[in-house]
Amino acid sequence: MSGPAVKAGYAAASTDGGHSGPMDDLSWALTKDRTVNWDLLQNFATRSLADQVYVGKTITEQFYGKPPHHSYWNGCSMGGRQGYMMAQKYPDLLDGIMASAPSLSMTYLAMGDYWPQIVMQESRTWVSNCEFKWFAKKTMEACDMLDGVRDNVITDPEECTFDPQRLVGEKIQCDGKEVKITTAMADVVQKIFEGPKTPYGGRLWFGLPHGTDVQSLANISIAEDLRSANPFGISSAWLKYLVLKDPKFNLSKIDYGTYAALWTQANQEYDWILNADNADLTVFRKAGGKLLSWHGINDQLIPYTNTLQYRNRVEKEMGGPAKVNEFYRLFLAPGVAHCGGGTGPMPTDALDKLVEWVEHGEAPETLDARTVDHKGELWSREICVWPKKMKYMGFGDAKRASSWSCEGGEELEGEHVDKGPDFLGGLKDRLLGLGMGLKIN
């Protein structure tokens, strides 16, 4: 994060939160007697964030001989969570916060990301990446044109009601042989997209929107026709080190009932220290801070619906959407995966829009977004400020932002679970971490 910021004229700083190893290495979280190392966890969760800002501002002032006139945060995934944490716990340290795809409630997200493995394990049905891709292809064929444009993007996944059971009995070529789609395979796909539930059907966490790639979370190993779990490293490490406190625990022993019990345990133990879901941003607003957040609708690791739920909770806490829009704006990017990638146009100017808002009072109504398709053709959009949604006007080149408009505006509640959630999240090669920018000139 620091390189582009420096190139753009910022004095920049970043932090690893006290841990320089891989994101899925949580061995530091346990002491030798297998108790939680609360000091290191506190460093990771919050303390390192404020320290970074204090140290960064001090060094900047010493070097330039004057303090920065504005200070910004720019982070995605874990860095997004940290940006929200800054607004909640250190509300007067920054002028503007750009927090993308935030892992707001880590305790929920860490458990939720393991759900696909539980589903396949309990059903004794291990669906391969090839088979998942075929289900995804059929879903896209059914729902791509709901917005009037064939572009491999389901603009509003809530409108897609595709049922994987319709595919039972079809035959496909996968993994070097003919595969017949079974009811059990369709059940696995359906349960994964519906999201974690208790053994009695109660919702624990958000599911995945149609059009989202599940390979990261529903990955398996195939060796000589034998299929086995190959879980997302962060979620399995979370269970072993922080929840079970046993690095050698065999996760295949976890059934639906145990999973629900561990879910409750994890939230009771770590909600207070890790989750950035306090909806009261009064002090941040009074300090003049501005929070700009965008989230890819097809984020495969952190459900955008959690960010949407948090935004709705802030509105209820702080006087409704109009009042909240004065200091906090959310943008949802259809087709975009975790912190970028996917098939949809990705925001390209979010930080610039935040600076304009903070320094010139120009609140953003849209974010410019672009992507290049498999043919090398450029697609552009203007991502609408929530709750407005993009709509193709029915004429003009669908590849151009000028052929789309922002419509709606009614405040929508979105999905709801008992409490706002999210986690660490982020494939290691996509994790942007966190960053702070200080403007001097």
Strands 96-100 and 70-76: parallel
**From CA 378, how far away is CA 400, in angstroms rounded?**
8
Tokens of 266: 């994890």
SS3 257: helix
**From CA 154, how far away is CA 160, in angstroms rounded?**
8
First and final C-alpha spacing in the chain? 20
Active site residue 338: yes
Tokens of 112: 């939720």
Other beta carbons less than 10 A from residue 413's beta carbon: 10
Other beta carbons less than 10 A from residue 21's beta carbon: 10
How many residues are given for the chain? 441
Set 14, 48, 71, 77: catalytic member: 77
Distances (CA, A) of 271 to 110, 228, 245, 301: 12, 31, 17, 19
Sign of the CA dihedral running 247, 128, 134, 203: negative
**From CA 399, how far away is CA 80, in angstroms rounded?**
29
Cα 52 from chain centroid (whole Å): 23
Tokens of 172: 């496909």
Contact between 11 and 64 (Cβ < 8 Å): yes
Active site residue 103: no
Active site residue 299: yes
Place of tokens 């209820």: 316
Contact between 293 and 331 (Cβ < 8 Å): yes
| Peptide bond just before 157 cis, omega within 30 deg | no
Contact between 378 and 399 (Cβ < 8 Å): yes
Please name the residues in contact with 32: beta carbons below 8 A apart, sequence gap of 6 or more. Answer: none
Set 277, 299, 368, 422: catalytic member: 299
**From CA 102, how far away is CA 434, in angstroms rounded?**
11
Set 236, 338, 368, 422: catalytic member: 338
**From CA 65, how far away is CA 204, in angstroms rounded?**
52
- The catalytic site residues sit at 77, 299, 338
